[in-house]
């Protein structure tokens, strides 16, 4: 983390978990545990259906309620989809784009990720863009090339000025939901590599202002070590974000001395 240059962001990804009632119960619990005076940005991305309920339940706290995907079109005949303006109209600020589960099960491609990033920026949303390699790709030794391709495609047509409103999440697929966390060195190496890429595509100033998160079995126990790495500016947390006490511990681990 380096909050002199960029924001520390702790974001939950609830995936397809929690009903509206469970969301209210979670909020009541987390409210009691939210660390005081924390400068980190707190985000909980959840099923869009429960956004309004969650916003009410978290009213008066620093918790931002975000969503897990959206369409890139402004409106139209796309049954079941969410338009960007539907999100901003509700006061939503953060949207996860290109999560590996969306890439794997819902045909999300590098092209659609790029269109969604563009749509998010054009609508005033902050995209949390997910990139990451599979175990096979890591073992073949192509991780950095793959990350470069995913990041460059996602940011095609994005200016240095717009880059300030983009968050990148490095999520190795083999670490998601498996309990197998990347070592802090592996995670740092990937995040540092992504920042170096941004330096090359944009410039040093633009690159150092981007928050790069790590995701993949981050939990209450390993968060502090991961967050201590210089290029890891926060976490995108699945399983552990469903448990108020664990999420609160991760929030506390993101505290930085002035
Ligand atoms: P996990 O999920 O923390 O449960 O591994 C992370 C994610 O998919 O964003």
Q: Cβ(237) to ligand 1 under 6 A?
A: yes
Beta strands in the chain (DSSP E): 9-13, 41-46, 63-67, 94-97, 126-131, 167-170, 212-215, 234-237
Residues 42-52 pLDDT 10s: 999 999 999 99
Q: Percentage of residues in the chain with pLDDT exceeding 70? A: 99
Question: Which atom in ligand 1 lies closest to the alpha carbon of residue 179?
Answer: 5
pLDDT at position 171, please? 98
pLDDT band at 182 (very low <50, low <70, confident <90, very high): confident
How far away, in angstroms, is 141 Cα from ligand 1 center?
Answer: 23
pLDDT at position 52, please? 98
Q: Atom 2 (ligand 1): residue with closest C-alpha?
A: 238
Could you give the angle at which helices 143-154 and 110-123 cross, rounded to 10 degrees?
A: 40
Indicate the fold that domain 9-253 takes in CATH.
TIM Barrel (3.20.20)
Residues 200-220 pLDDT 10s: 999 999 999 999 999 999 999
Residues 73-110 pLDDT 10s: 999 999 999 999 999 999 999 999 999 999 999 999 99
How far away, in angstroms, is 77 Cα from ligand 1 center?
Answer: 31
């Amino acid at each position: 983390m380096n909050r002199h240059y960029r924001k520390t962001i702790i974001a939950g990804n609830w995936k397809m978990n929690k009903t509206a009632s469970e969301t209210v119960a979670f909020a009541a619990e987390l409210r009691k545990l939210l660390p005081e005076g924390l400068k980190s940005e707190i985000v909980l991305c959840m099923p869009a259906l429960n956004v309004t309920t969650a916003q009410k339940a978290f009213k008066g706290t620093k918790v931002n309620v975000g969503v897990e995907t959206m369409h890139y079109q402004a409106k139209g005949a796309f049954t079941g989809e969410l338009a960007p303006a539907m999100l901003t109209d509700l006061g939503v600020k953060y949207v996860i784009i290109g999560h590996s589960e969306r890439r794997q099960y819902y045909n999300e491609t590098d092209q659609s990720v790029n269109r969604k990033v563009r749509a998010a920026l054009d609508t005033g949303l902050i995209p949390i863009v997910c990139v990451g390699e599979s175990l096979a790709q890591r073992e073949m030794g192509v991780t950095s090339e793959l990350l470069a391709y995913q990041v460059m495609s996602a940011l095609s047509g994005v200016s240095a000025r717009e880059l300030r409103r983009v968050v990148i999440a490095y999520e190795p697929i083999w670490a998601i939901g498996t309990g197998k966390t990347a070592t802090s060195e592996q995670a740092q190496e990937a995040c540092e590599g992504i920042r170096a890429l941004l330096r090359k595509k944009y410039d040093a100033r633009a690159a150092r202002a981007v928050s790069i998160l790590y995701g993949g079995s981050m939990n209450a126990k390993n968060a502090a070590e991961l967050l201590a790495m210089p290029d890891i500016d926060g976490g995108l947390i699945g399983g552990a974000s469903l448990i108020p006490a664990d999420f609160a511990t991760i929030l506390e681990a993101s505290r930085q001395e002035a």
